[in-house]
Structure 1
Amino acid sequence: MKNIHFIVNPAAGSGNHLISREFLENFFEKEDYAITIKNSDYKKHAKALTHTSITEDADIIVACGGDGTINEVASCLVNTNIILGIIPLGSGNGLASNLKIPKTIESAIALIKTKSVKKIDVGLINEHYFFSNTGIGIDAQVIRHYENSNQRKLLSYIKSTLKALKDLNYGNEITVEINGEKIQTNPFMVFISNSNEMGYKISLTPMASLQDGLLDVLIVSKISRLKSLYFGFLILIKKHHLIKEAKCYQANAIKIHQANKKVYESQIDGEFFNINSEAINISLLEKSLHVIA
C-alpha cells in the first residue's frame, strides 16, 4: 500500500480548487493507497507539514499549489528516497510546465498514479534550495511588487513589472565569478535557472535542462528604462539575447559578491528573499530529487 500525503495551499489559484479527502477518494482506491491531506495556512507552513509527513513514513508527498508551495515541500525531500508529486494550482506553474505535468487536477492525479519518476537537479543559493530559478535585480523587484498585490494573475505580473521599471534604481557594482572568469557589472539582472520556463510559457533560458548537471545564467548589465522596455519585448518574442548587454553562460557554480553591502534582494522560485551575507554562493546538486513527471 502506498502512503501518499497531500500538502495543499488552500489559497492557491484564488482558492478555486476541489482538493479534499472526498474528492481524492474518487481516484485513489482504499485497498491500494493510504491518503493524508494537510492544509498549509501560512508561509513556511508547508515545510513544517512536510517534515511531519516524512516522520509518518510517506512514500509520496504531493505539493498542491504554486511554485512557492512546491519549493517548500521539495526542499524537504532533497537527497531522500521520498517522491515528490505536483498538482499545479498556482498562477505561473513554471516547474510543473517544464516537467510536463498537466494543469487540470484530474490529469495531474492520473500522472501521479503512473509513478513515472525522474531524478532532477536541484539548485542551492547559500542555504536555500531552488528548483526553477533564482536571481537578483529586476526579477526580484517584480516579485516584491507582485507579492504586495492582491491578485495572482498574469495581469498582476505585468503591473508589477511596470512598477519595478518605474522604480528602477541601480545599486552597487557586483562581481560575478563564473567558469574562472570575474565579471564586474552593475546589473539589470543576474538570473540563474535550473529549468527552461518561468511560468506563462515565458523563458529567459530556453536551453536549460533539469537533468544536464548545469545551471543556465543570464547576466544583463545596466540598461536604460527605454531599453528595458525593448528588452521586455524581446523576451516575449524569445529574442532577448540580441541586446549587447545580455550575456549567457552555463556553469555548475557561481559566486556573487559586492563591496560595502551585505544584503541582496533576490527571488527564489518566485518568492522574494533578502539574503543577508557578504557573498552569494550558487551551486548544483545533480539528480538529487525524485519527482513524478
Structure 2
Amino acid sequence: MKTNLHFIVNPIAGKGRNELSTDMLEAFFPNSEYAVSIKKTEFVLHAKALAKASIEEGAQIIVACGGDGTINEVASCLVNTSVVLGILPMGSGNGLASNLRIPKNLKKALNIIKNQKVMTIDTGTVNNEPFFSNTGVGFDAHVISDFEENTTRQLFSYVQSTWRTLKKYNYKNVVELKYNGTTELISPFLLFVSNSNEMGYKMSLTPQASLQDGLLDVVIVPKLSRFKLVLFTMLFLFKKHHWLKEVRFQQLTALEIKSLDNTILKVQCDGGSVTQQYSKLLKYFLKA
C-alpha cells in the first residue's frame, strides 16, 4: 500500500520564493511507493484548513513547508492523531526546525522525511491553543508585531524591529502571575514561555529548554530602566541575558497570567502575532 504523503507549502514564507517541483519529490518519493499531494497556502490560517482536509483525505504524513507559523498551523491539527508531521524549513527564523536539527538544505530535509526519523515532542497550550516552540507576552510580542510589517523577513529585519520596539516600547500594565502555588504581581517587560531552546536565527532566551522534558521554560523580566532595557537587549543578542540579575527563570507545567488593569495582553505564538485571539487572562499548560 502506498504511503499517503501531503506537502503544505507557504509560498511567501521567508524570502518568498518557495516552490516544490513534482519532479524533485518523485526522485525521493517514487509513485510506486507514495501518493504525493502538494498544496499551497493563500492566506493566514489556510495551512490549518489544508491540514484538516489532508487528514480527512487519509494523509499519513503531512509536511509543513514554511516557517514556525506554518508549522504551528499544521502541527496544531495533528496533536493526538497518528499522522506524522514533517518539516521543510522555508521560513525566516526556523526556530523549531533548528532545534530539531532539520537542515535548511532541501534535499537533506527530504531525506529525513523519506527515512521517517520520527520523534515525539511536548506540546504547550495557551488558552487551549497549541504552540510548539514558544510564546510570549510583552517585548517579544511587540517585536514580532513590528517584524510582521516588514516586506523582508531576514535577520537584519529582526534586529531592526528589536531596536525600533526598544525605542518606543511603553509598558504600564500590571499582571498577576500564578504558578507552583505562588501568586505575584509584576509590571512585565517580558514574560516568555518556551518549549524549545531556540527562537530562530540561532537566538535563544531559554538555551536549556528541551522539547522532551515535560516542562515549560519561563523567563520573567520585570519593568527595567531605560539603561537596563538597552543592556538586556545587547546581552540577549549575545546570549548573555542571564547576567542581568532581574532576569528570572522557572521550569513549570502550568502558568496563569492575568491582566489587572483591563489591558488586553499582546501575545506572540510561535513567531506570529496573535493579539486578537487572546484576552486579559492567559492560561499555559504543557502536555508531555
- Please indicate, yes or no, whether the TM-score normalized by the shorter chain is above 0.5: yes
Q: Which residue of 1 aligns with 2:95?
A: 94
SS in 2 for 1:14: coil
Q: Distance in 1 between matches of 2:53 and 2:39?
A: 10
Contact 1:94 1:197 in 2 (8 A): yes
Contact 2:174 2:261 in 1 (8 A): no
Q: Which amino acid is the alignment partner of residue 187 of structure 2?
A: N
Contact 1:222 1:245 in 2 (8 A): no
Q: Distance in 1 between matches of 2:139 and 2:14?
A: 25
Contact 2:95 2:200 in 1 (8 A): yes
Q: Distance in 1 between matches of 2:56 and 2:65?
A: 20
Contact 2:11 2:19 in 1 (8 A): no
Q: Which residue of 2 aligns with 1:291?
A: none
Which runs of no fewer than 5 residues in structure 2 stay unpaired?
A: none
Q: Which residue of 2 aligns with 1:125?
A: 126
Q: Distance in 2 between matches of 1:118 and 1:225?
A: 43
The structure-2 alpha-carbon separation of the partners of 1:68 and 1:276, relative to structure 1 and needing over 3 Å to count, comes to: closer
Please report how far the alpha carbon of residue 253 of structure 1 lies from its aligned counterpart in structure 2 after TM superposition. 0.2
Please report how far the alpha carbon of residue 242 of structure 1 lies from its aligned counterpart in structure 2 after TM superposition. 1.6
Please report how far the alpha carbon of residue 27 of structure 1 lies from its aligned counterpart in structure 2 after TM superposition. 1.5
Q: Which piece of structure 1 moves more, 269-278 or 117-126? A: 269-278
Q: Which piece of structure 1 moves more, 88-97 or 240-249? A: 240-249
Aligned residues with identical type, % of pairs? 52
Please report how far the alpha carbon of residue 13 of structure 1 lies from its aligned counterpart in structure 2 after TM superposition. 2.8
Q: Distance in 2 between matches of 1:244 and 1:188?
A: 14
Q: Distance in 2 between matches of 1:236 and 1:163?
A: 15
Q: Distance in 2 between matches of 1:66 and 1:9?
A: 8
Q: Distance in 2 between matches of 1:70 and 1:139?
A: 19
The structure-2 alpha-carbon separation of the partners of 1:225 and 1:262, relative to structure 1 and needing over 3 Å to count, comes to: closer
1:38-63 CA-partner distances (Å, limit 9, x unpaired): 00011000000000000000000000
Contact 1:188 1:222 in 2 (8 A): yes
Give the TM-score normalised by structure 2: 0.97
Runs of 4+ with deviation above 6 angstroms: none
Higher relative contact order (CA 8 A, sep 6+): 1
Which runs of no fewer than 5 residues in structure 1 stay unpaired?
A: 287-293
Q: Distance in 2 between matches of 1:235 and 1:121?
A: 25
Q: Is residue 281 from structure 1 mapped to residue 287 from structure 2 by the alignment? A: no
Q: Which structure dedicates a bigger proportion of its chain to strand?
A: 1
Q: Distance in 2 between matches of 1:92 and 1:278?
A: 29
Q: Distance in 1 between matches of 2:8 and 2:19?
A: 14
Q: Which residue of 2 aligns with 1:158?
A: 159
Please report how far the alpha carbon of residue 22 of structure 1 lies from its aligned counterpart in structure 2 after TM superposition. 2.5
Contact 1:193 1:205 in 2 (8 A): yes
Q: Distance in 2 between matches of 1:12 and 1:260?
A: 36
Q: Which residue of 2 aligns with 1:8?
A: 9
Q: Which residue of 1 aligns with 2:239?
A: 238
1:270-291 CA-partner distances (Å, limit 9, x unpaired): 00011443411000111xxxxx
Contact 1:133 1:195 in 2 (8 A): yes
Q: Which amino acid is the alignment partner of residue 124 of structure 1?
A: T
Contact 1:262 1:278 in 2 (8 A): yes
Q: Distance in 2 between matches of 1:13 and 1:273?
A: 19
Please report how far the alpha carbon of residue 262 of structure 1 lies from its aligned counterpart in structure 2 after TM superposition. 5.2
Q: Is residue 38 from structure 1 mapped to residue 39 from structure 2 by the alignment? A: yes
Q: Which piece of structure 1 moves more, 277-286 or 66-75? A: 277-286
SS in 2 for 1:48: helix
Q: Distance in 2 between matches of 1:30 and 1:100?
A: 28
1:230-284 CA-partner distances (Å, limit 9, x unpaired): 1122113322112121110000000011223152110000000114434110001
The structure-2 alpha-carbon separation of the partners of 1:277 and 1:236, relative to structure 1 and needing over 3 Å to count, comes to: closer
